Chains A and B, each alone.
Chain A
Amino acid sequence: MGESLHSLFGDYLAVLLGTVIGFFLVFTALVATRVLAPFSPEREKGTTYECGMLPLRRASTNIGVRFYLYAILFVLFDVEAVFLFPWMLSFVELGAAAYYQMLLFILVLGAGLAYAWKKGALQWR
């Protein structure tokens, strides 16, 4: 096993450990509250809070399409951001070509954004 891989593995073991610890933090708190807090199983308060009214209708229905459009935009630009990371480390070495390559990339995506913008997809109406 390569040395660098070894250290990578060690580093991310900490992340794994962190996940476990985080999990147990929440878990312990929940167990503690189970022990300390009163609990009455039979009860009305199960009803959904809606400003003192009984709920109008099941809540988890229809959201705006705009949420979805923003999500798409985000995914695309996220992808672009991911490409930026290797680029920013290497473009100085590679010289102007790599720079303009990325500029082109940004511009193409920017054109997409501009299109969406113009078409009103960014407008919340």
Chain B
Amino acid sequence: MIPLENFLLLSAALFAIGFYGVLARRSAILILMSVELMLAAVSINLVAFAAYLDPEGLTGMIFAIFVITIAAAEVGLALGIVLRLYRERQTANVDAADELKW
């Protein structure tokens, strides 16, 4: 039997790594990927709580599937923005987006 803490630990680690990535990375796409990591951490948490604490274990999972969905939509949309940034600045580096006038 796996204790719940294990999952929480894993999710915390994943979240922290993702957070680090968001802060440290400069390429917009890499930041996106890091956000994906964080979202994954969140849904692990949700599902774990649901599985352990909610006897039916369904609400958390429904939320998890919503998170997955939204993450997918977010990637699509964000990539569009990255693309536009790239087109304007010829780079996917977020530092180039400091002047937010476009």
Chain A directly contacts chain B within the complex, with at least one CB pair under 8 Å: yes
Our pick among A1, A65, A68, A75 for the contact of B72 (Cβ within 8 Å) is: A75
Q: What's the dominant secondary structure at chain A's contact region?
A: helix
Q: A82 on the interface (CB 8 Å rule)?
A: yes
**Interface membership of chain A positions 27-64, coded 1 if the CB is closer than 8 angstroms to chain B and 0 otherwise:** 00000000000000000000000000000000000000
**Contact of A14 with B by CB under 8 A:** no
Q: Which of A1, A65, A68, A79 contacts B69 (CB 8 A)?
A: A79
Contacts of B76 in A (CB 8 A): 72, 75-76
Q: How many Cβ-Cβ contacts under 8 Å join chain A to chain B? A: 24
A42 vs B100: C-alpha distance when bound (angstroms): 52
Number of residues on chain A facing chain B (CB within 8 A): 10
- How far, in whole Å, are A75 and B80 apart by their CA atoms in the complex? 14
Given known pairs A1-B1, A82-B65, the reply for A76 and B73 (CB within 8 Å) is yes
Chain A residues near B80 (CB, 8 Å)? 72
Assuming the A-B contacts A1-B1, A79-B69, A82-B65, are A65 and B83 also in contact, with contact meaning beta carbons closer than 8 angstroms in the complex? yes
Residue of B nearest to A72 (CB): B76
B24 on the interface (CB 8 Å rule)? no
- A65 to nearest B CB, angstroms? 7
Residues of A within 8 A of B (CB): 1, 65, 68, 72, 75-76, 78-79, 82-83
